[in-house]
Structure 1
Amino acid sequence: MDILHSINDFNEAKQVIPGGVNSPVRAFGSVGGTPRFIARGKGAYIYDEDDNAYIDFVQSWGPLIFGHADEFVESALTLALKDGLSFGAPTEKETTLVKQIISLTNSVEKMRLVSSGTEATMSALRLARAFTNKDDIIKFEGCYHGHSDSLLVSAGSGCATFGTPSSPGVPSDVSKHTLVARYNDIDSVKACFEQSKNVACVIIEPLAGNMGFVPADREFLYALRKLCDEHNALFIIDEVMSGFRAGLNGALGIYNIEADLVTYGKVIGGGLPLAAFGGRAEIMDMLSPVGGVYQAGTLSGNPIAVSAGIATLSLIKSKPHLYDELESLAKTLTQGLQNAAQEYEIPLQVDYRGSMFGFFFNAGAVKNFDDAKKSDVAMYAKFHQKMLEKGVYFACSQFETGFICSAMNGAIIEEVIQKARESFKEIHFEG
């Protein structure tokens, strides 16, 4: 496979962009080799600058549920572009999109639009602290909620300790207000509540997507909801990744659970920068200009991204069997990968929900970040490189999630499984 353009592009980018990329995982540091510089995408495929085609299971890290360059979404964008890019003023489209989202969730009465998932979670935390008049938050090791200072925290010597910064530049005075618990371990959460009587909220990805794909146990989420109520803390569900990906009603619908605040992103922008946070009216009405909690953004609710979101959600609602079809493909893919790995005695754990899936080169079940870290990252790197050479683009890290899009079909999935079988065979005989 000729990737000369990508090699040259990467070398040039590194001269002016830190690491040559604008988001770290894209640099292929976890899997080795040269990151592919993408020229275009259509449907299930992306094409690099050397015109190599790849079946794409990254899908821009989740937003593109209908695949690349969907005609319905593109048509909506073409019309919106004729009216202008951004006004810094309210538009009818903002209300239309918010109503669409609210109609599909059981936990949101009011909502505000922002431009990124980081903004959404950061704003939700500020609201929770203001509403409860408390400072501390509980998050879970391995869950990613954006790169705001309060959430770039990992566990200290134990899950019940106050967090320590996981990035230089995060002041310890900020991170001391973040407690880190163990995913799917309710006792670790109880220990956090025992350590601090000042907990404003618990924030969680019910379908964790940044330690690999790890779903929460249903009983664990119910116990979290109960603990929050007992301690007068808000329960925040982060659906930036899982919202409209795992199902029409997201993880909230899958688990049949209610949150006090919910964050959304990715799919609701149809591939453009857009996110949102919402919840009970009494909480949301604390936001300025109604209340005293300040939050603002120059491009929040911009008409181009909002138009893409409206088109995407409208198309989703017009396809009653969409999520069943996507989940069927995810099931076929993950089971096929697992069976192919077993043929060559390679341990592989798989899971999926809706159009989200993941796999770990791990001998045991993965229920939390400690389990995930036991995975064979070197094996993942080998597999990733071999599949890339065969024209299949999986996430460039063991600790990311894969995505199915509606442009995929059974034939594409079977092609991928066969290429995986060939890759596992090569790995097996290479030793």
Structure 2
Amino acid sequence: MLDSLKKMFSSEDDGKPVSTTGKPDISREKSAELYEEAKTYFPGGVNSPVRAFRSVYGTPLFIEKGDGPFVWDADGNQFIDFCCSWGPLILGHNSPKIREKVSEVMQKGMSFGAPTAIENELAQLILKNNKLIEKIRFVSSGTEAVMSAIRLARGYTKRDKILKFEGCYHGHVDSLLVKAGSGLVTFGETSSAGVPKSFADETIVIPLNDRNAVEEAFRQFPDQIAAIIIEGVPANNGLLMQDIDFVQFLRAITTQNKSLLIFDEVITGFRLGFEGAARHYEVKPDIITYGKIIGGGLPVGCYGASAEIMSNISPEGSVYQAGTLSGNPVAMAAGIAQLTELLRFGFYKDLNNKAQDFVESIRRFASTRNYKFKVFSIGSIFWFAFTDKEIKSAEDIDPSSMEKFKILHRELLNRGIYLGPSGYEVGFVSAAHTKVELEKAKRAIIESLDIVFRTSPKNPKEE
């Protein structure tokens, strides 16, 4: 996975058109000016790598505002947005209920670095409706939640090694920013400058969906593995849905070896349902990390576990973790407003049904045309892949298919549809997307797919 990330961010695209049959390119003049200015302030002109548009065509869009299912860029172009700030905007942009709650709390102050009653309110809301955890600790990002969960697992088990899967991304934590070596089971190798090899040496990386590799890891490193960590549904390198049997196997083998099972639900938590992927699989992990949706668009994350495991966190236990902005009242307010809406009767049923109707209509079209194209989906998360095969691991993704995604992304922008600027990223349907927007998006996708398959050079492997 990290190799694919590096390819995304390593080279500038020339931005030249690949098709003369599509719609004219939208104006990006103002965005281009802002980007040139930004490059004098920030590395690569951005504050997070994928935003640089290096794996798609053209200049990055600088977003001016968002409302409901729409965003507008600095040039005034309007888009139906399926990026949704990479997932957290499950109610859509600028939700009135979130905005009102945040404004109310902001009148009293925005940060105290001290306990507040609103932290209790959000924690009670989560724990009362999520029976998989008993105590939580708020932090300020998903990466911080994962980092803290790993430290907790090591402190609780008194072991050092972590087992992760190729194709799962868990934030820019040093010990997890690694790639696999050449063996069935191997220590990780650093995938970023600045990550000491000694950190990566404590991380074992194996393929997804491979029971033999998991079993071999425990044989090679008996009583050394603190935890297995896996995304609830791997969704940072495509949508790599795992068989329920495999996930349940991970639960069994960690229990058998007195290791912990960590679910990274930064994307899937509160998105697939209030209890996330863990409830979907009917598996109870030892530690779960959450993020994104809890903040309703503001920076927040949390990790949770049983009261026994969480008792190891300072000041109650010896595992230290702290944060000045942890439990920030503004973020807590946004979380209360958003999660209250998610608990409304029928919310997830309505959202997931709407999303599935949308993706099914695209699947039917692609099937009718015999296009080498699939839409993978679960709940309100979807992923477009130019393949005719099932994809369950990073190795199953053909890197050359990203050339087709580049064309698709450009054609969709020109039709007012915004997806994340990478073919490895998933999309999201929000409660704000109505049948009108989804129908318009479907038509745009259908038109764009026709152009992709009419203009893309053939891969010799396909002939």
TM-score range, shorter chain: over 0.9
* Distance in 2 (alpha carbons) for counterparts of 1:189 and 1:375: 30
**How far off its partner does 1:244 sit?**
0.8
Q: Which residue of 1 aligns with 2:4?
A: none
Are 2:119 and 1:98 aligned?
no
Q: Does 1:404 align with 2:407?
A: no
CA distance in 1, matches of 2:401, 2:157: 42
> In the alignment, what sits opposite 1:201?
227
1:124 and 2:177 aligned: no
SS in 2 for 1:278: strand
Question: Does residue 313 in structure 1 map to residue 339 in structure 2?
Answer: yes
Match of 1:237 among 263, 273, 276: 263
Q: Which one of 280, 283, 298 corresponds to residue 254 of structure 1?
A: 280
1:192 to 2:217 alignment: yes
Instruction: Give aligned pairs, total.
Output: 430
Q: Deviations over 1:9-41 (max 9, x none)?
A: 111111111111111111111112111100000
Which whole-Å deviations, capped at 9, do the CAs of 1:182-221 have from their partners, x for residues lacking one? 1122222112112212000001112111011122210011
1:47 has 2:72 as partner: yes
| CA shift in 2, pair 1:332/1:9, >3 Å | same
Counterpart selection for 1:266 from 273, 292, 307: 292
Q: Look up the equivalent residue of 1:80 and give its one-letter code.
A: V
Q: Which moved more, 1:90-99 or 1:350-359?
A: 350-359
Is residue 327 of structure 2 the alignment partner of residue 301 of structure 1?
A: yes
User: Aligned letter for 2:319?
Assistant: V
Which of the residues 366, 372, 383 maps onto 2:408?
Answer: 383
Helix, strand or coil for the counterpart of 1:207? coil
For each residue in 1:77-133, what CA deviation from the matched residue of structure 2 results, as whole angstroms up to 9, or x when unmatched?
110110000001001111111121122323211110000111100010001001111
Structure 1 position 343, deviation (Å) = 4.4
Is 1:280 equivalent to 2:306 in the alignment?
A: yes
**Alignment correspondent of 1:212:** 238
Q: 1:327 offset after TM fit, Å?
A: 1.2
User: Corresponding residue for 2:11?
Assistant: none
Matches within 5 A, 1:55-74: 55-74=80-99
Distance 1:412 1:159, change over 3 A: farther
Q: Report the residue type matching 2:208 in the other structure.
A: Y
Structure 2 unaligned residues grouped into runs of 5+: 1-25, 457-463
Q: What is the TM-score with the length of structure 2 in the denominator?
A: 0.91
Report the Cα offset of residue 335 of structure 1.
2.0
Partner in structure 2 of residue 329 of structure 1: 354
Aligned to 1:138, the other structure's residue is in SS state strand
Pick from 369, 384, 388: which aligns with 2:394? 369
2:316 to 253, 267, 290: 290
Displacement after TM superposition at 1:222 (Å): 0.4
Amino acid at match of 1:276: C
Q: Deviations over 1:355-380 (max 9, x none)?
A: 11112111211011111245601001
The whole-number CA distance in structure 2 between the counterparts of 1:400 and 1:428 is 21
Q: State the Cα deviation string for residues 234-275 of structure 1 (Å, max 9, x = none).
A: 010111110110112211111111011010000011100010
User: How far apart are the structure 2 equivalents of 1:354 and 1:111?
Assistant: 25
TM-score by length of 1: 0.97
SS of 1:75's equivalent in the other structure is helix
Q: Does 1:141 align with 2:200?
A: no
Segments of structure 1 that go 5 or more residues without pairing to the other structure are none
CA deviation profile, 1:331-370 (whole Å, cap 9, x unmatched)? 1222222233344442112222221111211121101111
Q: How far did residue 159 of structure 1 move?
A: 4.0
Q: Is 2:84–2:92's contact at 8 Å kept on the other side of the alignment?
A: yes
- Please state whether the residue corresponding to 2:66 is helix, strand or coil: strand
Query: Any idea what the Cα deviations from partners look like across 1:250-303, whole Å, max 9, x if unmatched?
Result: 111111110110100000111000100010111111111111111000100010
Contact 1:105 1:253 in 2 (8 A): no
Identity of aligned residues (%): 43
8 Å CA contact retained: 2:130, 2:275 = yes
What residue identity is the alignment partner of 1:191? E
Aligned mate of 1:354, from 358, 362, 379: 379
Mapped partners of 1:361, 1:248: distance in 2: 31
Once the two structures are superposed, the pairs formed by residues 147-226 of structure 1 within 5 Å of their partners are: 147-197=172-222, 198-226=224-252
Alpha-carbon distance between aligned partners in 2 of 1:31 and 1:343, rounded to the nearest angstrom: 27
CA distance in 1, matches of 2:294, 2:398: 31
Q: Distance in 2 between matches of 1:430 and 1:343?
A: 19
Q: CA RMSD in A?
A: 1.2
Which segment is superposed worse, 45-54 or 247-256? 247-256
Q: Which residue of 1 aligns with 2:20?
A: none
CA distance in 1, matches of 2:400, 2:253: 31
> Is the Cα–Cα contact under 8 Å of residues 107 and 261 in structure 1 kept in the other structure?
no
For the 8 Å contact 1:3–1:50, the answer to whether it is kept is: yes
Counterpart of 2:40 in 1: which secondary structure? helix
Point out 4+ residue stretches in structure 1 off by more than 4 angstroms: none
